[in-house]
């Protein structure tokens, strides 16, 4: 999800789109996307056309041509010789995927539920991605191959490989990878059972048991991004003099952004590519769909009454080729719980019904908070929760609603320390209980925003009682500095990051080591 910004047994299903995502490649607004309700294909067909008998086709001597994949860059591609044109085609194809999956099962697992079957077959730390594409978009990539440096399958594989490199180079390391399972080409005239889904980035064809995520691409948008997409999400792959792969803005991109990220040379699809465009917004969405990760921007603060009225976690939109340490900890948590795709099984956040199992409820029993200001009194301000104007989606109404610091609850401490109990960080909204997303700490004349992510990390790393000590710098209180920024930094990168801030004429406002980890939080101020 960006800052701008289903389930199946034997047949594909369109599940309720109650997602924590802001699509960057959709022609629909986020609000409209959330309001859509899916419909099982099998149920739809049975209701509209009566019972559907696929037996004859299934047992026929000749299989439909679209069931036979072609291999492009080693990836299975379906629908090249004959497009997937109808719902019946899609149902038959996805039944075939499930049959191939079932053929791998031990007999004792044939009558187990899908979750148990998937646990026995799918590698625990690997996620399997399918991409569905309209025929015209697939052909546009072929027609522009000389201009753009890649065809469609290679372009998708480059995004998968960059996603995996981000995990490999993260600190702490994230033990997870994505595997491009297949590409499915559908006719431009394909219409899903629920016609509203034709405008979604989520595949209109459904889910099979062998995948963790699917994504739908309707057009070749590399030059002219579709509505709802931010052009700031585009980067390009370059090669340096040592053969390493460098991610930075495309050569013809009109921007002052000179940042770059270097990845060690590796023999994958990124190797030897020069100025080939990458959509980080697409990878952002796959972090949700395949890796079951939330947005970070939901902890940002807007229009508070404090000295810095705005708070931002750096790269909260997650559209840079860099995996936040916070997300690395959430990946560790997902692996321990065997939580896989966002919409493919009950423990995925897109389908989960028990809000107590959500990531934001990872809270230690108690937190002791002190500062470098010594014995100065400390107060912690707990905001109220604001529901969005859409109250029909459980936690999402709060997830998108934000915080209100106009009338916060105050928790005071003595002798330079404050004790925060986990119950204080939870708010009740009807029958649902949520933690707040960000609190504000005041120590003397200093005010500091602390996102719930910090506390989540402590709990995930195995701590039930934690102590934090905030070290304030000597940054003057400039009234023009209305935004407080924060970034998660590994201890090995702290000095380098500090020097980078200083080179930009900025100073550290505060820093804090998350006890029990090698992760620091660093705050600074900007206009």
pLDDT digits (tens, 9 = 90+) for 281-330: 999 999 999 999 988 888 999 989 999 999 999 988 888 999 999 999 99
Q: Are residues 284 and 385 in the same domain?
A: no
Note whether 223 and 362 are same-domain residues. no
Confidence of residue 412 (pLDDT cuts 50, 70, 90): confident
Q: Coil, strand, or helix at residue 146?
A: helix
pLDDT at 65: 83
Domain presence at residue 10:
no
Vertex 30: Cα angle to 27 and 35 (nearest 5): 105
pLDDT score recorded for residue 230: 54
If asked whether residues 171 and 87 sit together in one domain, one would say yes
| Statement to judge: residues 278 and 366 lie in one domain | no
DSSP 16-71: ----S---SS-SS-HHHHHH----BHHHHHHHHH-----HHHHHSSS--GGGS-EE
pLDDT digits 0-9 by tens, 168-224: 999 998 999 999 999 999 999 987 765 555 555 566 777 899 999 999 999 998 875
Residues 517 and 380 in one domain: yes
- At which of 248, 265, 289 does a domain end? 289
Q: Which residues of 148-177 are buried (b: 16+ CB within 10 A; e: fewer)?
A: bbbbbbbbbbbbbbbbbbbbbbbbeebebb
Whether residue 171 is found in the same domain as residue 40: yes
Give the pLDDT mean for 368-374: 88
Residue 7 lies in a domain: no
Same domain, 384 and 280: no
Question: Is residue 305, in this structure, part of any structural domain at all?
Answer: no
**Average pLDDT over every residue of 245-255:** 86
Residues 120 and 42 in one domain: yes
Residue 265 in any domain: the answer is: no
> Is the pLDDT score of 93 beyond 50?
yes
Residue 15 lies in a domain: no
What's the Rg (C-alpha) of the chain? 24
For residue 200, what pLDDT is reported? 53
Domain that holds residue 81: 30-234+273-289
Does 19 map to a domain?
A: no
Residue 430 has pLDDT above 90, yes or no: no
For the chain, how many helices (H) and strands (E)?
13, 22
The verdict on residue 96 lying in a domain is yes
Q: Is the pLDDT of residue 401 over 80?
A: no
Contact 382, 408 (CB under 8 A): yes
Q: Could you tell me if 373 and 461 lie in one domain?
A: yes
How many C-beta atoms lie closer than 10 Å to residue 477's C-beta? 12
DSSP string, 114-137: HHHHHHHHS-TTEEEEEEEEEHHH
Dist CA 300 CA 315 (whole Å): 11
Q: Write out the DSSP string of 233-268.
A: GEEEEEE-TTS-EEEE--TT--------EEE---SS
| Mean pLDDT, residues 45-63 taken together | 41
On the question of pLDDT at 19 being above 70, the answer is: no
- Residue 80 to residue 183: CA distance in whole angstroms: 10
Are 477 and 483 spatial neighbours (Cβ–Cβ below 8 Å)? no
* pLDDT mean over 102-125: 90
Are 38 and 12 contacting, i.e. CB atoms less than 8 angstroms apart? no
Q: Is residue 131 part of a domain?
A: yes
Q: How many CB atoms lie within 10 A of CB 373?
A: 16
pLDDT on residue 238: 95
Q: Which residue has the higher pLDDT, 429 or 413?
A: 413
pLDDT at 78 over 90: yes
Split into its structural domains, the chain has a count of 2
Q: 128 vs 147, which has greater pLDDT?
A: 128
Please tell me whether the peptide bond between 37 and the residue prior to it is cis, using omega within 30 degrees of 0: no
By the 8 A CB rule, do 280 and 233 touch?
yes
């Amino acid at each position: 999800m960006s800052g701008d910004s289903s389930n199946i047994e034997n047949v594909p299903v369109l599940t309720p789109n109650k997602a924590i995502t802001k699509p960057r490649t959709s022609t629909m607004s986020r609000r409209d996307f959330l309001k859509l309700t899916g419909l099982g294909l099998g149920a739809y067909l049975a209701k509209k056309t009566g019972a559907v008998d696929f037996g004859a086709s299934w047992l026929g001597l000749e299989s439909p041509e679209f069931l036979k994949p072609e291999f492009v860059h080693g990836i299975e591609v379906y629908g090249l010789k004959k497009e997937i044109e109808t719902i019946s085609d899609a149902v038959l194809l996805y039944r075939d995927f499930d049959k191939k999956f079932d053929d791998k099962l031990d007999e004792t697992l044939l009558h187990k539920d899908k979750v148990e079957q998937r646990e026995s077959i799918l590698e625990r730390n690997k996620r399997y991605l399918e991409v569905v594409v309209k025929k015209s978009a697939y052909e546009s990539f072929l027609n522009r191959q000389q201009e753009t440096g890649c065809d469609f399958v290679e372009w998708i594989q480059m995004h998968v490989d960059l996603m995996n490199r981000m995990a490999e180079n993260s600190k702490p390391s994230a033990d997870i990878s994505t595997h491009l399972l297949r590409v499915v080409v559908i006719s431009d005239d394909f219409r899903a059972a629920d016609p509203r889904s034709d405008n979604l980035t989520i595949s209109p064809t459904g889910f099979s048991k062998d995948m963790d995520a699917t994504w739908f691409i309707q057009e070749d948008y590399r030059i002219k991004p579709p509505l709802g997409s931010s052009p700031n999400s585009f980067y390009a792959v370059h090669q340096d003099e040592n053969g390493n792969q460098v991610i930075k803005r495309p050569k013809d991109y009109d921007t002052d952004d000179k940042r770059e990220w270097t990845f060690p040379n590796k023999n994958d699809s990124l190797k030897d590519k020069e100025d080939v465009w990458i959509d980080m917004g697409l990878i952002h969405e796959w972090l949700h769909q395949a890796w079951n990760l939330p947005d970070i921007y939901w902890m940002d603060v807007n229009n508070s009454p404090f000295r810095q009225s705005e708070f931002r976690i750096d790269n909260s939109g997650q559209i840079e080729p860099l995996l936040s340490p916070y997300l690395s900890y959430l990946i560790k948590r997902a692996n321990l719980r065997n939580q896989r795709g966002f919409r493919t099984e009950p423990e995925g956040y897109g389908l989960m019904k028990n809000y107590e199992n959500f990531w934001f409820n990872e809270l230690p029993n108690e937190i002791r908070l002190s500062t470098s200001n010594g014995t100065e009194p400390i107060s912690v301000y707990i905001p109220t929760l604001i529901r969005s104007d859409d109250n029909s989606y459980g936690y999402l109404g709060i997830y998108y609603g934000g915080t209100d610091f106009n009338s916060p609850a105050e928790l005071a401490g003595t002798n330079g320390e404050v004790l925060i109990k986990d119950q204080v960080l939870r708010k009740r909204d009807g029958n649902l209980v949520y933690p707040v997303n960000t609190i504000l700490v005041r120590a003397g004349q200093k005010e500091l925003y602390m996102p719930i992510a910090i506390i989540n990390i402590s709990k995930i790393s195995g701590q039930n009682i934690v102590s934090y000590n905030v070290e304030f710098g000597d940054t003057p209180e400039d009234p023009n500095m209305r935004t407080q920024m924060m970034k998660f930094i590994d201890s090995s990168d702290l000095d380098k990051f500090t020097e980078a801030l200083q080179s930009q004429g900025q100073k550290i406002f505060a820093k804090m080591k998350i006890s029990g980890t090698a992760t620091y939080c660093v705050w600074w101020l900007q206009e």
